[in-house]
Chains A and B, each alone.
Chain A
Amino acid sequence: MEALVASAVAVMTAAGVYLILRRQTFPVVLGTAMLSYAVNVFLFATGRLVVNLPPVLADTATGYTDPLPQALVLTAIVISFGMTAVVVLMALGAFIASGNDDIDLGEGRE
Chain B
Amino acid sequence: MNHWIIAPVVLPALLAPLLVLLARHDLRAQRLLSGAGTVLFAALAGVLLAQSSSGEIGVYRLGNWPAPFGIALVVDRLAALMLGLTAALALAVLAHVLGTGWDARGRHFHALFQFQLMGLAGAFLTGDAFNLFVFFEVMLIASYGLMIHGGGRARLRAGVQYVVMNLAGSVLFLFALGTIYAVTGTLNMADLAVRAAAIPASDAALLRVGAVLLLLVFAIKAALVPLQFWLPATYANAPGPVAALFAILTKVGVYAILRLFTLGFGPSSAASDIGGTLLLPAAGVTLLIGMTGVLGARDLGRMAAFSVIGSIGTMMLGVAVFTPAATGAALFYLIHSTLVAGALFLTADLVRGQRGSLSLAPGPRFASHGLLAAVFFVVAIGVAGMPPLPGFLGKLMILDAVRAVPGGWAIWAAILIGSLMAVAGLARAGAAVFWETTPEEAAAPSQPLALAGVAGLLTVLVGLSLAAGPVSAWLNAAAASLYAPAPYIAAVLAGGAG
Chain A interface residues (CB < 8 Å from chain B): 16, 20, 25, 28-29, 32, 35-36, 38-39, 42-43, 45-48, 68-69, 72, 75-76, 79-80, 82-83, 86-87, 90-91, 93-94, 97-98, 103-106
Contact = CB atoms under 8 A, between A and B. Distances in A.
B134 A75 contact: yes
A38 B167 CA distance: 13
A68 B184 CA distance: 13
B174 A76 contact: yes
A35 B171 contact: yes
Given A83-B137, A86-B141, A97-B153, A25 B174 contact: no
A68 B177 CA distance: 12
B27 to A, nearest CB: 23
A97 B487 CA distance: 55
B163 A86 contact: yes
Contacts of A47: 181-182
A69 B181 contact: yes
B233 interface: yes
Interface stretch (B144-152, B249-257, B266-274): B144-152
A57 to B, nearest CB: 14
Contact of A82 (B141, B171, B177): B141
A96 to B, nearest CB: 9
A32 B164 contact: yes
Interface in B120-173: 130, 134, 137, 141, 144, 148, 151-154, 156-161, 163-164, 167-168, 170-171
A103 B160 contact: yes
A39 B169 CA distance: 12
Nearest to B148: A90
A80 B171 CA distance: 9
Nearest to A25: B160
B171 A28 contact: no
B370 interface: no
B153 A94 contact: yes
Contacts of B144: 86, 90
B160 A94 contact: yes
Interface of B: 130, 134, 137, 141, 144, 148, 151-154, 156-161, 163-164, 167-168, 170-171, 174-175, 177-179, 181-182, 233
A93 B163 CA distance: 13
Residue in A87, A90, A104 with the greatest tally of chain B CB atoms within 10 Å: A90
A87 B167 contact: yes
Contacts of A43: 174, 177-178
A48 B178 CA distance: 11
A61 to B, nearest CB: 20
Contacts of B182: 46-48
B171 A36 contact: yes
A87 B160 contact: yes
Contacts of A91: 160
B296 to A, nearest CB: 14
A109 B179 CA distance: 43
Contact of B156 (A16, A28, A68, A90): A90
A39 B164 contact: no
B141 A103 contact: no
Contacts of B159: 90, 94
Residue in A69, A97, A103 with the greatest tally of chain B CB atoms within 10 Å: A97
B174 A20 contact: no
Contacts of A98: 153, 156-157
Given A43-B174, A94-B153, A94-B157, A79 B134 contact: yes
A75 to B, nearest CB: 7
Contact of A105 (B130, B154, B168): B154
A35 B156 contact: no
Contacts of A103: 160-161, 164
